Amino acid sequence: MTEATNVIPLRPPTERRQQRSLLGDAVRRFARNRLAMIGFFILVFLFFLAIFADVIAPYPVDRADFNAVRVLPFTNSAYPLGTDNVGRDYLTRLIYGARTSMLVGLLVPLIGFSVGVTLGALAGYLGGTMDFIVQRLIEVFTAVPPLLIALFMLSVTGSGVGNIIFVLSVTAWIESARLTRAQFLTIREKEFVTSARALGATDARMILTHMLPNIITPLLVSFTFAVPAAIFAEAGLSFLGLGITEPTASWGKMVGSSIGNTIRVYYHLALFPTILVALTMLGFSFVGDGLQEALDPTRSR
């Protein structure tokens, strides 16, 4: 051991290796994760279906051909994936189902997070009475499982896409509020917050420009898990026949209405929507896991 090994060589900043940003690092780690990339491509495909449903679907959603009721798949070239109980092209229904799922899956967490993050931030930052109120609110809403609340609320509002989104948003804020509050409580005592306060930052500025950007990572991860949860809830309620009303296509409803004595003959009515629902859930959970690992390198494994 010579003394020279203990000296850390100092190089001027210009000669340093190209600097990696946090985001660039995360993207690189994400791209290296095979499962996460598979999930990512599944999601790209589903969003493509949802956005361009009008262009790629071979028929209008509600066009029923009464001469071709319950055509089996791969038997009729006009209807490659067969038709449903009233003669609507199944491929078209499946494509439009993606639109319903994505609409509910994105809007519900968006509404939920905008309410939840606001409440959680106020509770965590202000503490005191505000914190007390928010905590009691969370307690009341977690006393009954979200699905039962949604079911009950649906009986009050009636069904339909807009009502489904509203009803699911009623409980969608809880998780984000809890998360934001807990994160705010831990970073409230950090040095950068104290120094910002010493510099005379206003409350709004403290929350918006100093504290929120620091908890964006857990929020993002939690968001990617909230999307499949909302899709699951919509599919489930529609499956029970309480969610989306006809003519709107919904995978959950398609599975639900396929169940019966004839299911073993007309297997396609249940098979295709189940594959799509499973694919969607897998896609989001792969991406969620990948994001979690990419954004938080301290999580090993």
**Binding positions for another protein, rule: CB under 8 A:** 135-136, 138-140, 142-145, 147-148, 151-153, 155-156, 178, 181-182, 185, 228, 232, 235-236, 239-240, 255, 259, 263-264, 267, 270, 274, 277-278, 281-282, 285, 301
Smallest distance, Å, CB 103 to another protein? 18
Which of 42/165 has CB closer to another protein?
42
Which of 63/136 has CB closer to another protein?
136
Smallest distance, Å, CB 35 to another protein? 9
Which of 138/193 has CB closer to another protein?
138
Q: Taking the CB of residue 301, how many other CB atoms lie within 10 A of it? A: 3
Smallest distance, Å, CB 27 to another protein? 24
Cα distances from 184 to residues 142, 187, 203, 294, in angstroms, run 21, 5, 13, 22
Smallest distance, Å, CB 250 to another protein? 13
Smallest distance, Å, CB 36 to another protein? 13
Integer Cα distance of 212 and 116 in angstroms: 13
Specify the residue for token string 């649906």. Answer: 154
Which of 57/227 has CB closer to another protein?
227
Smallest distance, Å, CB 284 to another protein? 9
Integer Cα distance of 198 and 162 in angstroms: 46
Burial class (CB within 10 angstroms; exposed 0-12, middle 13-18, buried 19+) of 88:
buried
CB 272 within 8 A of CB 90: yes
Smallest distance, Å, CB 155 to another protein? 5
Which of 140/199 has CB closer to another protein?
140
Which of 57/82 has CB closer to another protein?
82
Q: Which two tokens stand for residue 66?
A: 């009464």
Q: How many helices, marked H, and strands, marked E, lie in the chain?
A: 12, 0
Which of 21/300 has CB closer to another protein?
300
Nearest CA-CA partner of 225 in 108, 134, 122, 118: 108
Rounded to 5°, angle at Cα 197 from 193 and 198: 115
Which of 112/236 has CB closer to another protein?
236
Smallest distance, Å, CB 234 to another protein? 10
Cα distances from 153 to residues 37, 119, 161, 205, 230, in angstroms, run 38, 22, 14, 37, 15
Three-class secondary structure of residue 89 per DSSP: strand
CB 183 within 8 A of CB 222: no
Give the torsion sign (CA, 258, 262, 263, 267): negative
